[in-house]
Structure 1
């Protein structure tokens, strides 16, 4: 697969993931470009079929390096309010926004490994194996970390959590 084809297929996925982590559109654009530039440099060492996992892992590392340099760990994820949904009343919309805000504020307070696994598994909808590939963890660690993260999140929110 050429770099152009790979970019066409995955640039929005990588951009969105970086935006989840950084909450900065310009920085997410820059890091998306840097991720694909690094892919071009390391292309020969990447296994066929593992390109997307490699791209996500590289994007994640770029975001973490940025935060390490800034000594700032902050997370304000992207709300998926842009998706088409059935019309709702203004009251329902306001309630949804308040619930989402409370959820994302609670996620922001989680330690970084918990944030990672929640973003990848619950927000991005990756499979356990895909999450393993991105984070470089084994299946047991992904499952256990997600279980612990959801328990802490549930405790922070003071209610039940549907997994």
Structure 2
């Protein structure tokens, strides 16, 4: 099936089988390997991308369901090879170790902070409960999210 959608601001036209997941399409058809296939059951969060502003598990969404949508992957968070403020905060707070879960954490938090730039720590913890990490301890990730809120608050004020 032919599917037309936008990925990281660029229109794409891909031919996939009807059962191809969005995760597999992004990785195998479009070469966007930042989206990680972890559990493939929607439990770990490593495959999280943003579809029309909402964080979704790309292993549970079929590529054909993305027809006409706007998809943002972890590659789309940086602009002109400059890390996003959230990515800078992750770096500053050492919020990653092996990096496998990091793309899903970043896209999940970007969607949350875009939707609610004044989010509190409890809500951040609640939302991150759906993203599994075996290496860090979540504290640096939460600190990075709290640090990045200022940028999202300023961006919201400019809208």
CA radius of gyration, larger in: 1
Which structure has greater helix proportion?
1
The reply to whether TM is greater than 0.5 is no
TM-score, normalised by the number of residues in structure 1: 0.32
